[in-house]
Copies of this chain bind each other. A is one copy, B any other.
Amino acid sequence: MLFGRKEPIHVTNLTNDLFLRALRREAVDRTPVWLMRQAGRYLPEYNATRKKAGNFMALCKSPDLACEVTLQPIDRYGFDAAILFSDILTVPDALGLGLHFVEGEGPRFKKAIGSEADIRGLPAIDIEHELGYVGEAVQTIRRALNDRVPLIGFSGSPWTLVCYMVAGGSSSDDFLKVRQWLYSRHDLVLLLLEKVTDLVIQYCAMQIRKGAQAIMLFDSWGGLLADAQFGRFSQAFLSKVVAALTQQFPDTPSIVFVKGGGLWLERIAATGCTALGVDWTVNLGQARVRVGSQCAIQGNLDPAVLLGHPDHIRAEVARTIQSFGLLEPGVGHIFNLGHGISQFTPPENVQCLVQAVREFSSRSN
């Protein structure tokens, strides 16, 4: 077990602890459900709050507004978990790289990491201070949630942060520059990974201390690594984060999501995470056979399903639940998409999904 046997302190008073029970692979009456990027642009109420904030980063940096959007999908759909509204790139922003978003183009940094001097010149920062707005948001959200459902904190994985830091933002060439460094200056990649990993650990630890009841690590670009490189450049650092958090917070579960990591489920499970997030290319039944006795599994509906007809949504939800198979103690399934929800999703389709998960996964069925 990755967390203590005694009832975790954060969990005691939860009105709905389905999500945490499924993470612990305990018996549940039905499959819990939440969606990656559930507080997002597909929701009119989110867009209204974002407009009020001015821009995306201002929304992240306002604890009250971040709280407002975090709770919107909980209020509307009754998801079984809330996830902190923030961005995976707050740590590089805190390092002074200047995160901002260009409409329709994704994240951009004002400064990129281009040399050893850039890495060695990264400032020593106090995460509690620099990312104090995140800690405050976590506290504000916990108060507002009032133990209805647990709150998930998160960070980008070390490898994924390094990808963005070296590219200076999102990439049109599969982050070729840092992948080139793997074969020419892997010492630089490792140096940067070490620095970033320490900060990711501090960052997640702060979120837990402020009230996050689970931590998710998003390795959005782990799937760009060669088979022989994934272990050294992503898995090893995911393991460090998970180990450090588990040691400090044995009661707080961790979820590791490696997009495009379906070939490496055994290695991801070996990080010691409580649950594995899997994308829609993975067969859930096979994932369960491969790692389901070590980890819970979270996923994995194709986000494109939510752009289809309600009949298809119901059918695909049913298929996803069936592909995982019977709920029983010793295995755990958390229903989610295989990637973030599309901004073009009609909000009523999410209601249809939530309803279908409840209906098709209930024990009485």
Alpha-carbon gap, A225 to B304, bound state (A):
10
Check B184 against A309 for contact (C-beta < 8 Å): yes
Residues of B within 8 A of A319 (CB): 228
Say yes or no for A323: interface residue by CB 8 A criterion: yes
Check B302 against A226 for contact (C-beta < 8 Å): yes
Say yes or no for A27: interface residue by CB 8 A criterion: no
Say yes or no for A182: interface residue by CB 8 A criterion: yes
Say yes or no for A342: interface residue by CB 8 A criterion: yes
Check A282 against B227 for contact (C-beta < 8 Å): yes
Check B307 against A183 for contact (C-beta < 8 Å): yes
Given A283-B227, A344-B176: A308 touches B260 (CB 8 Å cut-off)? no
Alpha-carbon gap, A308 to B344, bound state (A):
41
Residues of B within 8 A of A323 (CB): 228
**0 or 1 for each of A301-325: is its CB under 8 Å from B? (1 = yes):** 0101101110011001001000100
Residues of B within 8 A of A305 (CB): 183
Say yes or no for A92: interface residue by CB 8 A criterion: no
Q: How many residues of A contact B (CB 8 A)?
A: 35
Say yes or no for A77: interface residue by CB 8 A criterion: no
Which residues, 135 to 175 on A, are CB-close (under 8 Å) to B?
173
Residues of B within 8 A of A226 (CB): 280-281, 302, 338
Residues of B within 8 A of A183 (CB): 302, 304-305, 307-309, 312-313, 316
Alpha-carbon gap, A204 to B57, bound state (A):
51
Check B227 against A304 for contact (C-beta < 8 Å): no
- Please give me the residue from chain B that is nearest to A280 by CB atom: B226
Check B307 against A342 for contact (C-beta < 8 Å): no
Check A281 against B304 for contact (C-beta < 8 Å): no
A36 vs chain B, min Cβ distance (A): 15
Which residues, 59 to 102 on A, are CB-close (under 8 Å) to B?
none
**0 or 1 for each of A329-365: is its CB under 8 Å from B? (1 = yes):** 0000000001000101000000000000000000000
Alpha-carbon gap, A226 to B305, bound state (A):
10
Check A304 against B179 for contact (C-beta < 8 Å): yes
A177 vs chain B, min Cβ distance (A): 9
Check A227 against B281 for contact (C-beta < 8 Å): yes
Given A182-B304, A184-B307, A304-B180: A227 touches B263 (CB 8 Å cut-off)? no
Alpha-carbon gap, A221 to B72, bound state (A):
35
Alpha-carbon gap, A151 to B227, bound state (A):
30
Say yes or no for A223: interface residue by CB 8 A criterion: yes
Residues of B within 8 A of A250 (CB): none
A325 vs chain B, min Cβ distance (A): 14
Check A342 against B176 for contact (C-beta < 8 Å): yes
Residues of B within 8 A of A307 (CB): 176, 179-180, 183-184
Alpha-carbon gap, A308 to B180, bound state (A):
6
- 6 additional A-B pairs beyond A179-B307, A262-B262, beta carbons within 8 Å, are A183-B304, A183-B307, A184-B307, A226-B281, A227-B281, A263-B283
The 3 closest A-B pairs by CB, nearest first: A183-B308, A179-B304, A180-B307
- Give the interface of A toward B (CB within 8 A): 173, 176, 179-180, 182-184, 223, 225-230, 260, 262-263, 280-283, 302, 304-305, 307-309, 312-313, 316, 319, 323, 338, 342, 344
